[in-house]
């Protein structure tokens, strides 16, 4: 009985260690890759700037971002999304360090809310 308790306690301890290592690894991955997660709205114009048809910007809590490689067609191909202006989405993106408007960003993933 005592051996069984020790075995269960050891297994639980090993599971906790694995979970801690995975959590720390995930946090380090997010930090070192400069990933940002945010709820956003798909927009076409902001600050007197209007994006051409089919292209869009995302308006997040942190600012307005644009990925010139992503438009409605590529979003449909990559993530199977039927987007239009005004839609709410959740995005994973990597902002650029450029201080221009709209700020360039690489959109890694997006899904509709």
Predicted confidence at residue 92, as pLDDT, reads 93
pLDDT given for residue 1 in this prediction: 66
pLDDT tens digit sequence for 58-107: 988 888 888 888 888 888 898 988 888 889 999 999 988 777 777 888 89
Distance CA 40, CA 112 (A): 10
pLDDT given for residue 63 in this prediction: 84
Report how far residue 43's alpha carbon sits from residue 110's, in angstroms, rounded to the nearest whole number. 15
Among 90, 53, 88, smallest CA distance to 72 is for 53
**Phi first, then psi: what are they for 48, rounded to 5°?**
80, 0
- Mean pLDDT rounded to a whole number for the chain: 86
For position 46, what pLDDT does the model report? 74
What pLDDT does residue 16 have?
Answer: 96
């Amino acid at each position: 009985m005592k051996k069984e308790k020790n075995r269960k306690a050891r297994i639980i301890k090993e599971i906790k260690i694995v979970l801690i290592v995975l959590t720390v690894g995930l946090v380090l991955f997010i930090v070192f890759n400069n990933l940002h997660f945010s709820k956003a709205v798909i927009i076409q114009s902001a600050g007197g700037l209007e994006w051409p048809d089919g292209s869009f910007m995302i308006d997040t809590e942190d600012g307005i971002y644009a990925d010139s490689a992503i438009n409605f067609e590529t979003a449909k191909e990559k993530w199977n999304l039927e987007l239009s202006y005004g839609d709410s989405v959740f995005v994973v993106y990597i902002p650029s360090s450029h201080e221009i408007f709209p700020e360039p960003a690489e959109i890694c993933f997006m899904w509709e809310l």
